[in-house]
Amino acid sequence: MKIKYLLITFLVLTIILAGCSKENDSNKNAKTKNEENEKQVLHVAAAASLTDATKDLEKAFKDEHSNVDVTFNYGGSGALRQQIEKGAPVDVFMSANEKDVDALVDKNHAQNTYEYAKNKLVLIGGKDSDYKSVTDIKDGDKLAIGETKSVPAGKYAEQYLKSNDLFDSVKAHLVYAKDVRQVLNYVEKGNAQMGYVYQTDLYQSQQNGNSKVKEINTAELQNPIVYKSATITDDKLAKEWIDFLKTDKAKAIMKKYKFEV
């Protein structure tokens, strides 16, 4: 009887232990599956002029990376570079120039650089204005440009004005903006009569069919406006984003928004 009791006890314990083991394996498999499906986040610091294009780039990137959330921080390239230097959480930097990326490379803050687009600088005015040139500026008028220390478009505008002996004549009329989108906003709202923005910003403004601005002329620069990108972290996703920018799909999106690639 005692032996029979011990055998029954042993069998019950075996069944209980087997159930626990199965439950542990199930929990382990579920945990592994959850880890695989866990959302990853890619932090991209991008020039303000990329606000619209990057939304389409994100959608195309997520076609192949469904478990990735891409977050963007927009601003002037110089300001973004300074944030990166101070340790801001950034995986990829998409600048509107070469200088700010190169400065980060020199300080070992960036790698895997890629020149992904080109742009043009244009002078804009109100759609009903009769201005033909920046030389038509009148008393009380304002000419908006980006902050020259942090906004590449502002620096390009200043260089253009100086190289064409126009800077001194418009200096008193200048108002500075934190990025090109703010320049566009100033002219659209009549806070400035003219302003220098990228060709792509003007194009995007005109897509709503009720644009309040128009192109006056294109600023002929000595050197092309080159947009450059780089990885800031060694995260695998950061490199994959740079590789994605090299694809035909990404280039088609940039062309859609009137960037040259």
Poorest-pLDDT segment among 8-22, 51-65, 108-122: 8-22
Q: Is 153 annotated as a binding residue?
A: yes
Q: Is 77 annotated as a binding residue?
A: yes
Other beta carbons less than 10 A from residue 166's beta carbon: 16
Which pLDDT score, from 0 to 100, does residue 19 have?
54
Do the domains 40-118+225-256 and 121-218 sit in the same CATH topology, yes or no? yes
Integer angstrom CA distances of residue 2 from 8, 10, 11, 13:
10, 12, 14, 17
Residue 37 CA to its chain's centroid (Å)? 26
Distance CA 219, CA 115 (A): 22
Q: Give residue-wise pLDDT tens across range 177-220.
A: 999 999 999 999 999 999 999 999 999 888 877 789 999 999 99
So what CATH class is 121-218? alpha beta
In terms of Cα–Cα distance, which of 156, 155, 165 is closest to 134? 165
CB–CB of 221/121 below 8 Å? yes
Q: Quick one: CA dihedral 158, 110, 246, 50, positive or negative?
A: negative
* CATH number given to 40-118+225-256: 3.40.190.10
Domain boundaries, the chain: 40-118+225-256, 121-218
**Over residues 54-73, mean pLDDT:** 96
Q: Give residue-wise pLDDT tens across range 222-256.
A: 899 999 999 999 999 999 999 999 999 999 999 99
Q: Is 49 annotated as a binding residue?
A: yes
Expressed in angstroms, the distance from the first to the final Cα of the chain is 88
CB–CB of 150/157 below 8 Å? no
Using a pLDDT cut of 90, give the percent of the chain over it: 82
Which pLDDT score, from 0 to 100, does residue 211 have?
86
